[in-house]
Structure 1
Amino acid sequence: MTRLPISLACWNYDRTQALADGSIRPDGIDLNFQTLEVEETFFRMLRHREFDAAEMSMSSYCVTLSRPDPAFIAIPVFPSRLFRHSCIFVSAKSGIETPADLVGKRIGVPEYQMTAPVWIRGILADEYGVDPASVTYYTGGEEQPGRDEKLKLTLPEKFKLQPIGPDQTLSRMLADGEIDALHTARTPSTFYSEPDKVRRLFTDFVPVEQDYYSRTGIFPIMHVVAIRREIYEKNRWIARSLQKAFEAAQAKVYEELLVTASLKTMLPWQIAAVEQAVSLLGRDWWPYGFGPNRAVIDTFLRYHHEQGLSSRRLQPEELFAEECFEAFKI
């Protein structure tokens, strides 16, 4: 029987490795898995729609849903999740000691619409009372000059954005005190090379993030898997087929991470880390599917709207192919 050729761009996560090496094959699909850095995948998919399906920034995907004839439809698979308290960096010259000190400051963001800063701004607002409109955002490349927003934005006037110079980088500006703080997905190089000039706002971030989860139940979602809508409309069955395959690939990793005969990763205390994750977040600590993630998605959509990135408050059910809401049971 002929299988439908589908190209999929995604980074080489442990939870997608079985799809990349072909040991798990989606039903009815001949998968052309392309391993790419996330920034390249996002740029090529959002600007040129180069792949049939791809890992995609949650925020960028939501921006596209607010536009006429949305180009993509997602499945409830979340290859990237991360608590982002650890990703707020401050300049030693800023005088910032607490989250409240961020008010009125100059905050760097590679892109305002990036998912990580959306979560950071929302958490700072909910947990510490830092209004996202109370600061000035400086946008541009973190390590290389010349980065622009992947998607054109139309924001309410209360949000103040200022592009940095064509030869400037946020990492350098942070160390030099030209910006006071940085909300980012990637740790700036100056955090490691100039630790006397750049530090985390939450120095001991793990207990802060664990406390946040214990109170909110939120493990922030960063990325979804999106399908080009015209491909999906012609072959609606592929949404569920891809979801099942991602779930099967993830299940293998859950099992392998608890093997003690030979460690799957280079982390010396891998088993302790897994057991701690199970203790704090449950056995399915990285859940796929709509039901277990509805509250997390709803919180993100509130942040997205409050920060001017979506013109109306999207509902979680609007994000995903309807086939993915149904579960077949024997």
Structure 2
Amino acid sequence: MTELVLKIGVSDSDRTRPIANGEVAIEGVKADVTFMGVQALFNQQLTKHSFDCCEFPLATYLRTLERPDRPYLAVPIFPSRHFRYSSVFINTTKGIEKPADLAGKRIGISVFDMAAAVWLRGIFEDHHDLPRTAPIYVAGGLEVPRTGDEHPQFYPDRFKHEERLDKSLAQLLAEGEIDALYTARAPSTWPSPTVARLYEDPMPAELAYFDKTGIFPPMHVLAIKRPLAEANPGLARAVFEAFAKAQEIARAKLYDAVALSTMLPWQLESLLFAEKRLGKDYWPVGFAKNKAMLEIIIRYMQEDGLVTTAFKPEDLFEGDILET
């Protein structure tokens, strides 16, 4: 594989910086890395397709596999993972104490197919007695009124949908015009007398979920433009190996307590706690270790009606990546 310049768009994290600063090289590649906030990154990639290789919304990637051109090819690197129990906000006057209380309630959501919402709908139905179709979903902008979808959205008919273009979801929640909010980013109206999290201490619920399922839910995947990957055999594997190495370096820096690599005062203790409760490989890379998780998110996407194809985890990747 001859060296090629690869334009890479990712969020700024300890898992991606080793690629950007040259600490880890991608074999046969000169990496041209751009850091962007995730929503701006996704909006740009899904409208302008600016990057050859990009951190990509996982649920949206699954949807692209139903397009005739199948424009992207993923590698089993998941730059962002998050337990999302902490991402449900409620209006405190509505008597909502548990997920099942959201049945019949109006839930704000800025991007219907974002992985955070797909996971929450599935988890709450599977484990907390809230059928995914029971609430009413209200589309809008999180902090400013929405003028249109930043990237094309699909709202399956099986759900009850509304749209609010006059106020932000953060304002609607604070004023009680919606009852709850599913969001990857906390609204500016939290904390306040009328806005709280459904789980003010989410860790026990999230640990219980992990104990039951073994899943630390991924939000994003790494994807390469398919024509580029097909024209350069070995590129996908080289990208995978480099980002896997970058993740190893990120973990090593958390473990090194000589000078803290983050502002967390108990950084090492937090790492040790996570590895004790979740296992040392709690952020797995590769196909084999993520296969069971992928079966779940595929099922959730089908049950949402966001995809119609009965994908298998193997359908998300190609070639020797399936051996990882």
TM-score by length of 2: 0.96
Q: Residue 182 of structure 1 corresponds to which residue in structure 2?
A: 181
Aligned to 1:317: 314
| Residues 1:173 and 1:180: Cα distance change in structure 2 (over 3 Å) | same
Q: In 2, are the aligned partners of 1:139 and 1:161 still within 8 Å (CA)?
A: yes
Query: In the TM superposition, what whole-angstrom CA distance separates every residue of 1:228-256 from its partner, at most 9, and x where no partner exists?
Result: 11111111311000001001111111111
Cα separation, 2, equivalents of 1:2 and 1:294: 32
Change (3 A) 1:299 1:2: closer
Hey, what does 2:114 align to over in structure 1? 114
- 1:154 Cα offset (Å): 5.6
Aligned match of 1:168: 167
Q: Equivalent pairs: percent with the same residue? A: 40
- For residues 28-47 of structure 1, give each alpha carbon's deviation from its aligned partner in whole angstroms, at most 9, with x where no partner exists: 00110011111111111112
* Alpha-carbon distance between aligned partners in 2 of 1:44 and 1:208, rounded to the nearest angstrom: 35
Following the alignment from structure 1 to structure 2, what is the Cα–Cα distance between the partners of residues 269 and 154? 43
CA distance in 2, matches of 1:152, 1:265: 36
In 2, Cα distance between equivalents of 1:96 and 1:187:
18
How far apart, CA to CA, are the structure 1 residues paired with 2:152 and 2:320? 28
- The amino acid that maps onto 1:317 is E
Amino acid at match of 1:278: E
Matched, 1:270 2:267: yes
SS of the residue corresponding to residue 189 of structure 2 reads helix
The one-character-per-residue Cα deviations of 1:143-192 (angstroms, maximum 9, x if unpaired) are 1222526224262x221121112x31101100000000001100111113
> How far did residue 2 of structure 1 move?
5.2
Partner secondary structure for residue 73 of structure 1:
strand
Deviations 1:200-243 (A, max 9, x none): 11121111101110111011010001111111111131100000
AA aligned opposite 2:51: F
Q: Name the CA distance, whole Å, in 2 between partners of 1:219 and 1:141.
A: 27
- CA offset at residue 285 of structure 1? 1.8
* Aligned-pair CA distance for 1:265: 1.1
Matches within 5 A, 1:232-247: 232-247=229-244
Please report how far the alpha carbon of residue 312 of structure 1 lies from its aligned counterpart in structure 2 after TM superposition: 2.3
Question: How much does 1:60 deviate?
Answer: 0.8
Check if 1:228 corresponds to 2:225.
yes
| Number of positions where the alignment pairs a residue of Structure 1 with one of Structure 2 | 323
Match for residue 286 of structure 2 among 286, 289, 312: 289
Q: Which residue of structure 1 lines up, in the alignment, with residue 62 of structure 2?
A: 62
Moved over 4 A (4+): none
Residue 151, structure 1, aligned to residue 148, structure 2: no
- The alignment's TM-score, normalised by the length of structure 1, stands at 0.95
Q: Are positions 1:203 and 2:214 aligned together? A: no
Q: Which runs of 5+ in 2 are unaligned?
A: none
**Which position in structure 2 is the counterpart of 1:301?**
298
